[in-house]
Amino acid sequence: MITMEHVCKSYRVAKRNAGMREACKALFRRETEVIQALSDVSFTIQDGEMVGYIGPNGAGKSSTIKILSGILTPESGSCLVDGRIPWKNRTEHVRQIGVVFGQRSQLWWDVPVIDSFELLKDIYAIPSYEYQNNMEELTELLHLQELLKMPTRQLSLGQRMRCEIAASLLHSPKILFLDEPTIGLDAVSKLAVREFVMRLNQEHKTTVILTTHDMQDIEALTKRIILIGRGRVLMDGTLEDMRRLAAEHGQAAEASDQNGESLERIVAGLYQKLDIL
């Protein structure tokens, strides 16, 4: 179970202004401003749940993921993942979670994928029989057979993403964080990834937390959605709840339409109406 209660986090960033004069000024004095990344974020996620975590860029999604995965310590509030405080006892915690960043690779660029997997086996100290089982299952479900012998740099984005997901699951984590896993993928790869995540959640009861900008991901995978904007949780409910919220904000006409593209429009409308962009 994952619980977050009243979590706050702010950053201090340097202001940088354009122009020659401003740049010269910055040589002597630098202004900083405080950005509130998360303010009073609370939610609870049960074991085996699949949750979509959405919001515009800079809303605080990745800060939340970072806190839950133990990379970042919040200023205030409490956070428990299966009874552990993520940023205390880091090694213990991260052994139980898997994280996929859609924009970054965790595989070793110049060696065959299988070599990366072998290295991960040593890093996570995965017992041989468990590794063997997981490899067999992942290879079959994600169709990796052909890819394992290729160096990562030669893979297409879709192929690489399948390998990335497999790499994050080799140590059988109980919780999986997916950060924009379908970004830039073609239709076939997208479907394959979605289908796999669905199955993982159903068969292994893995808790999945998914951040994405692709509303079709949300529609296909998650029953529950947490909407975040400007560091606050604005809605925590089902897809229907979100449609209702949109309707309240005067988007009734489009809400009846049931396909994914109009969902995109609803969300875009919501972002604007809630003024969180």
For another protein, the binding residues (CB under 8 A) are: 9, 11-12, 16, 18-20, 23-24, 26-28, 30, 37, 63, 66, 69-73, 87, 90-92, 94-95, 97, 99, 104, 106, 108-111, 115-116, 118-119, 122-125, 151
Task: Please state, in angstroms and rounded to a whole number, the distance separating the CA atoms of residues 136 and 159.
Answer: 17
| Closest CB 218 distance from another protein, rounded Å | 24
Q: How far is CA 33 from CA 10, 16, 19, 218, 232, in A?
A: 10, 10, 19, 34, 19
**What's the N-to-C CA distance of the chain in angstroms?**
31
Least Å from the CB of residue 160 to another protein:
15
Distance CA 207, CA 3 (A): 13
| Least separation in angstroms between CB 116 and another protein | 8
Task: Return the DSSP state at 151.
Answer: B
Residue (122 or 275) nearer to another protein, CB: 122
| Cβ count within 10 A of residue 10 | 15
Instruction: Specify the residue, 208 or 274, whose C-beta has the smaller distance to another protein.
Output: 208
CB 245 within 8 A of CB 276: no
Q: Which is nearer to another protein, 97 or 242 (CB)?
A: 97
> Cβ closer to another protein: 71 or 239?
71
Pair 227, 55: CB distance under 8 Å: yes
In whole angstroms, how close is the CB of 11 to another protein at the nearest point? 6
Angstrom distance (rounded) from CA 89 to CA 14: 31
| For another protein, the closer CB: 118 or 254 | 118
CA dihedral of residues 119, 122, 125, 128 (deg, nearest 10): 80
Q: Give min distance, CB of 42 to another protein, in A.
A: 20
- Shortest Å distance, C-beta 22 to another protein: 9
Between 93 and 243, CB nearer to another protein: 93
